[in-house]
Amino acid sequence: MKNNKNYSYMDSVHRDGRIWNIAVMIVLLLFPLVVGFIFSAAPDWLGLGLGLAYTAPMYWAVGIVEVITFIPMLGAGGSYLSFVTGNISNLKLPCAINALENAKLDVKSEEGEIISTVAIAVSSIVTTVIIALGVLLIAPLDPILSNPVLAPAFDQMLPALFGALGVALISKNWKLAIAPVALMLVLFIFVPALDSSSVGIMVPVGVVFTIAVSRFLYKKGLI
């Protein structure tokens, strides 16, 4: 163990984050192996290999880009926790950004790191509790939740969340926001194949595009 005087908060974040991420990865990979062993069942290795050959490269690329994209916004602790619990772009990232905005902190500071991590942790706990309650109450609540009258409200929940965050962030530097917003509007309006399932890919694309446009505007002295 290192001397406590030289052992910082960030050291503990990276230590615990690596331990838990590796542990979760092992558990996830072991589950199908254990199930196969218990039931004496093995996959079609040729089919599995062909399936991975077609799908894995896309997920590797998205995974690499997401790490580069999300870590500067989530911080180290928030990133370790987010990549274990998932649903980053829809839940974890908005929660972290909103918490940092309210606290008026930058995620690069140690205080910002803590705020981001706590926000993501609370989001994970709340999500787990809501899912558990949903599983328990799905039968009695089904007539209410499936009521056509409420369908429009549920359809607007995520747009309302991202709209509120968008206003707060865009108002800070509207010049930088014009290009990525215009790009996404054009793509989603004129490319029918893009839908909600494309968010994981389009977020990194939008970030790279925004960085390139921002650099261009900076070089031209426009920002």
pLDDT digits (tens, 9 = 90+) for 9-31: 788 888 988 998 899 989 988 98
| Any domain includes 34 | no
What is the span of the domain harbouring residue 89? Answer: 43-172
Residues contacting 112, CB < 8 A, separation 6+:
75, 100, 103, 105, 106
Is 47:106 a contact under the CB 8 Å cutoff? no
| Any domain includes 201 | yes
Number of domain units in the chain:
2
pTM above 0.75? Answer: no
Residues contacting 170, CB < 8 A, separation 6+:
177, 181
Residue 1 has pLDDT above 50, yes or no: no
Identify whether residues 148 and 97 lie together within a single domain.
Answer: yes
Residue 206 has pLDDT above 70, yes or no: yes
Mean pLDDT of 34-43: 86
| Any domain includes 116 | yes
CA distance 66 to 22: 18
What digits encode the pLDDT tens for the residues 108-133? 888 888 899 999 999 989 988 988 88
**Confidence at residue 200, expressed as pLDDT on a 0 to 100 scale:** 63
